[in-house]
A and B are shown apart, each in its own frame.
Chain A
Amino acid sequence: MSGPLQSAARGGVLALFLVALAGFMALLLWLGAQGFRSTEALDLWGRALLAAGGQTPLREVVTAYPPAPILVMAGAAGLAPMLGAAAPWFPVALLAATLVLAWHATLRDAGLGRGARLLAVLLLALNPLFLRALAGGVEPMLLAWGVWMLAYGMFNMRLKSRVNDIILVAAALVLLGASGPFGLVIVLAALPFLALIVLPDLLVQSVSGSYLVILFPLLFSGLGFLFVNWIFTGDPLHFLVAPQGWPPAAPAGLRQAGLALVGVVLMSPLSIWAVLRARRLAGLQSGAVAALGMPVAVIGLGWATGTLPGPALAASLGCGLAAASAAVVASFRRLQPVVMPALLFTLVAGAAIVFADRSAATLRWRAAAQGHKVAAPAPEMAALGRALRGKHDILFSAADAPAAVAERGSAAGIVGQHAEAFQLAAQTHRLTARVLVVRSAQSVRGADGLGRAFPRLFTAGAPGYRLIYDGPDWRVYQSDLEARP
């Protein structure tokens, strides 16, 4: 490609990226304006604000599982002064836009013309399941990245035998494992299918070598994580204390799992087609069997372990599969005509799954997407956050209610349980902070840090403090001195 053409191509890619980023940001901000936020995303953003604000020591951040979402969001929280209210959405939109760019690059490498690949990317990016995952926050986006990398690598390992495909598969396993419990389930479900994607002559040469090269990064990062836990906390299994999102509040039922299963199958028309019709292309067929079998196994294993998210979110894994299979199938010139109809089919199928999903989060998302105002996912956290806005010197075991920090919009002014002042207050039983936040011992999760240090604080308050917020689980007391004009 000549210089001017190369520059034009780069300019086109940049434009695509900026349009995608702006589009995703606009959509997320609009959904936010309707009141939609996922519970998990809110929680994560709160923890990220605490980490970036220094209220959570870095050692707590780096030893927490899952590490990937919190590290990504903590980075965004660090940029919050620049990004303002868009900060929690920015990393999610960025991940989605770069994923779109990656899809575009693979479709270009496959030889699809400019118009066709833009249309293909549009069909993928506008798939309701992808947009549902986008609204789910950073974790579903990391999973979308991981599943796409895994599927694309799986397809190509048999077809092209490039080291890049091993890198993709190996890196995808690490990313998925670090993204959360459901990511770990995907990793486990993918393992048996690795046998299908390694070239037979490589397996004959060395089974251990073939598996070691794919699994080494996962094993090494796992051991590295244990090591980090050990050096910072003295216990390599420290992260098992409270893994976020494990187990989920309401495990999916059989019907939901069935819908998710139908969803991933419907999202894989090209893989199904390749399994049934590409008999002469053994590499493509093996990759397709693996790429189809893996998500089916994920749904089964996710359901069995109680980690399966709602049907639409679970089925959104199919977006990565659809994008990967489209690029692989398009690389066979004579098969290119089947790509567009298949992607159009996945768009319709995605919409159907979203409409069939009756889970609360998806119902809220659908309502917000249709322009209806929706209630906050955790009303008490929203109210608590509002109550704490504009306040400073707040003695608050914020790690027990990170969503309230997210609703407040900042961690500034919070004296968390790792702060010296908090520990001093707990040890001396003297309260000098201007604002006290405490959780009821009768709540589902029991007393919070402050409540454990001051068992009567929730019910009786403290001398010199008056109640300014009274929720079902949380109360906020403000110093009389602070209340005076």
Chain B
Amino acid sequence: MRELTAGDSWTGDHLIEQGLITLPQLDEATQLAESWGASLTDVLLARSWIDPASYYLSLAERFGTRYVSLLKEAPNPEFLREDEVADYSRELTMPWRKENGRLVIATARPGPEVMFFIRQRWGADVSLVVTSKFDILWALQNVFSADYSRRAVFDLAEHDPEMSAQTVFTVGQLVVGWALVTALALGLAFAPIVTLIAINAVMSVFYLGNFLFKAVLIWAGGQAAQQRAREVKAAVRGMRDEDLPIYTVLVPMFREPDVLPILVSALRKLDYPTARLDIKIVLEEGDTETIDAAVALGLEGIFEIIRVPPSQPQTKPKACNYALRFARGEYLVIYDAEDKPEPDQLKKVVAAFREAPDNIGCIQCRLNYYNRNENWLTRLFTLDYSLWFDLMLPGLERLGIPIPLGGTSNHFKMDVLRELRAWDPFNVTEDADLGIRMTQKGYGVRLVDSTTYEEANVSQGNWIRQRSRWIKGYMQTFLVHTRRPIHLVRTIGPLGVLGFVFFIGGTMLSGLLNPVFWALFAFWAVTGTTAFDQIFPPAILYMALFNLLIGNGVLIFLMMLAPFRRKWLELVPYSVTVPWYWALMSVAAWKGAWQLLTRPFYWEKTTHGLSKHTASEVAKALQPARVAAR
């Protein structure tokens, strides 16, 4: 708990004198400010106990200067430097204009600390005007939006084109693809049986490798040391708030006003001093419904709203790239709108970063669902996620295979993220791509035993939309990183390549191929036809049989193991219904493949807030605010 600064104490007294707040409000705000580690003003604004306009007007009066609205009287861009934007944001102070030959500085927090900053940066010969926090933040966004917006889209493509998915297929890939298709066509024309046997053999070997690889991953993941989890826990216990770095939290949202209260509540519960949090809610400029909801919730007190100017592609990574320009933390994390991270997650990550080697650039936390028992789909989705995050990713980490990052709760070192030019806005699974890119650039990814709970999709249509985007993104990622096969082998090693091929390639390819083999099997089982005998010579037949029986058995068994770590064993029986889930996955895979050809950068939006749990979560989230308001 942090004591109020002198400036805060003075502000409190001033507001009482002006009659803008009551004494009980001041007492409660002081308590909250101390426990959150936030400034008194931020708490009062967050609680909507003072009107921002009245507060800043009163502040201007107190300092004998005038209040200006930067949105109405825009700053002169000549005086603003792009490389100082993070400082302007942190100090809420920026050069405004020149009047009578003197530089005028606009600030939202006049006081001794800021005066010191102003003198250091611009000297003593300056004038001062008061403005609001959001005037400063939004004025900066207005001034730099065009440049930032362009760079959010093209930075990676311009500086590292080989790593960008802007080009879907390179000329080399098209030539190889064309050569394969031609060879296949010639084979089918002149030696159809041999060609079909060869295809069958390759597919059978792929299936065999795929499930063996998964089994090895689970085994390795299960063996992952619990030692680190204990060390991280111990380090968290020994942490002092004053030693914690500034942490940027990016929350990209698009038309999700309904789940905003859940997110706000979860972020407020974070066990991290609010003064050291740089929370940015990233909204598309035209998304007025979410912007209005954010304003209505009084978020501007401790959260900053970043409005992303409209441009194509309209994707989450582009929005994050844009917001990254305003980030001022040492570390950065991304959360989705409906996320509920465990409160000590940020501290655990800080501890993990401090204990990790220098080349660790990212820490991935586990993801899971809070509405797992809602219906069949949420149960299977929970099993799927548990398998992925609790068993497979630890296996990848242990075997030194590149980790495709999960959609949220990936925590970055800011300098590494900027060096890598952040996310690829043309890739619709920008996180998975970034994980592979990081490894190729010599950085590592670690996992930390902390979970972020999300809302599992409750509707199969919505799930297919979401999964089709993921699979399309995997296809993009696969295409990007296999452009230079030798470079890939050199940077991530043969085992890394094998893991990449099976983990990323295997996930999408099995989804595409499964329906073909299911159809063959069903046709054979129903009709007893001997038409396929020729393309299933004994060796392939027995391998296919092995894959069918042992492979599927192993995959179902692995699904059963998934909930073990969380002791959600009531989900185990549902694992036997996973074939239908695989069928849905195949639908999504084919949809993703089609979109890769027709709309490669289209962001298939997942609708959140459909769960019946969401209403109760929203009600729960709003409860403290109502109590506080009373």
- When distances are taken between beta carbons in the complex, the residues of chain A under 8 Å from B556 are 216, 220
When C-beta atoms are compared, the residue in chain B nearest to A205 turns out to be B569
Interface magnitude class on chain B: 20 to 34
Question: Beyond A62-B542, A209-B570, A216-B557: 11 further Cβ-contacts under 8 Å?
Answer: A167-B222, A201-B567, A205-B567, A205-B568, A209-B572, A209-B573, A210-B569, A210-B572, A213-B572, A224-B549, A227-B549
Count residues of A near B (Cβ-Cβ below 8 Å). Answer: 25
A166 touches B564 (CB 8 A): yes
Contact across chains for B222 and A162 when beta carbons are under 8 A apart: yes
Closest 5 interchain pairs by CB?
Answer: A209-B569, A209-B572, A224-B549, A164-B222, A206-B569
User: Which B residues from 294 to 331 make CB contacts under 8 A with A?
Assistant: none
Question: Does the CB pair B569–A167 fall under 8 Å?
Answer: no
Can you name 20 A-B residue pairings with CB atoms under 8 Å? A62-B542, A162-B222, A163-B391, A164-B219, A164-B222, A170-B557, A205-B568, A205-B570, A208-B572, A209-B570, A209-B571, A210-B572, A212-B573, A213-B564, A213-B572, A216-B557, A217-B554, A220-B557, A221-B549, A221-B553
Q: Please tell me if A58 contacts chain B, counting CB pairs below 8 Å.
A: yes
Contact across chains for A166 and B567 when beta carbons are under 8 A apart: no
Contact A163 B564 (CB under 8 A): yes
CB pair A163 B565 closer than 8 Å = yes
Interface residues of A in 141-195 (CB under 8 A from B): 161-164, 166-167, 170
Q: Which of A62, A162, A208 has the most CB of B within 10 A?
A: A162
Q: How far is the CB of B306 from chain A (nearest CB, A)?
A: 41
Min CB gap B578→A, angstroms: 12
Which of B545, B554, B569 lies at the interface centre, i.e. has the most chain A CB atoms within 10 A of its CB? B569
Scan residues 214-236 of chain B and give those whose CB is less than 8 A from a CB of chain A.
Answer: 218-219, 221-223
> Given A163-B391, A164-B219, A213-B572, A202 and B557 touching (CB < 8 A)?
no
- Per the bound structure, the CA–CA distance linking A224 and B549 in Å amounts to 6
| Interface check B68, CB cutoff 8 A | no
A216 to B576, CA, bound (A): 9
Residues of A within 8 A of B (CB): 58, 62, 161-164, 166-167, 170, 201-202, 205-206, 208-210, 212-213, 216-217, 220-221, 224, 227-228
Q: For residue A217, which residue of chain B has the nearest CB?
A: B557
> CB within 8 A of A58: which of B223, B391, B542, B557?
B542
Picked from B554, B569, B571, the residue with its CB within 8 Å of the CB of A202 is: B569
C-alpha gap A58/B543 in the complex (Å): 12
A162–B561 Cα gap in the complex (Å)?
Answer: 10
- Chain A residues whose CB sits within 8 angstroms of the CB of B112 once the complex forms: none
Is residue B485 contacting chain A, with contact meaning CB distance below 8 A?
no
List residues of B whose CB falls within 8 A of some A CB.
218-219, 221-223, 391, 538, 542, 545, 549-550, 553-554, 556-557, 560-561, 564-565, 567-573, 576
Complex interface: chain B residues within 8 A of A220 (CB): 549, 553, 556-557
Partner of B223, one of A62, A162, A227, A228: A162
Closest beta carbon of chain A to B3's beta carbon, Å: 43
Among B219, B538, B545, B561, which residue has its beta carbon within 8 angstroms of that of A228?
B545
Expressed in whole angstroms, the Cα–Cα distance for A164 and B565 within the complex equals 11
> How far, in Å, is B250 (CB) from chain A's closest CB?
33
User: A residues within 8 A CB of B554?
Assistant: 217
- Most chain A C-beta atoms within 10 Å of own C-beta, residue among B391, B549, B576: B549
Residues of B within 8 A of A228 (CB): 545, 549
> Given the complex, which residues of B lie within 8 Å of A163, measured CB to CB?
218, 221-222, 391, 561, 564-565
Q: For residue A165, give the distance in angstroms from its CB to the closest CB of chain B.
A: 8
Query: Which chain B residues border A224 with CB–CB below 8 Å?
Result: 549-550, 553
List the B side residues contacting A208 at CB < 8 Å: 572-573
Contact A213 B560 (CB under 8 A): yes
- The distance in angstroms between the C-alpha atoms of A220 and B572, with both chains bound, is 15
Q: Given the complex, which residues of A lie within 8 Å of B569, measured CB to CB?
A: 202, 205-206, 209-210, 213
CA A163 to CA B217, docked complex, whole Å: 12
Q: How far is the CA of A161 from the CA of B549 in the complex (A)?
A: 28
In the complex, which residues of chain A have a beta carbon less than 8 angstroms from the beta carbon of B542?
58, 62
Tell me, rounded to whole Å, the shortest Cβ–Cβ distance linking A225 to chain B: 9
Complex formed: what's the CA distance from A202 to B569 in Å?
Answer: 7
Output the least CB separation between B282 and chain A (Å). Answer: 37
Task: From the candidates B545, B561, B572, B576, name the one contacting A206 in the complex (CB within 8 A).
Answer: B572
* A218, chain B: closest CB distance, angstroms: 10
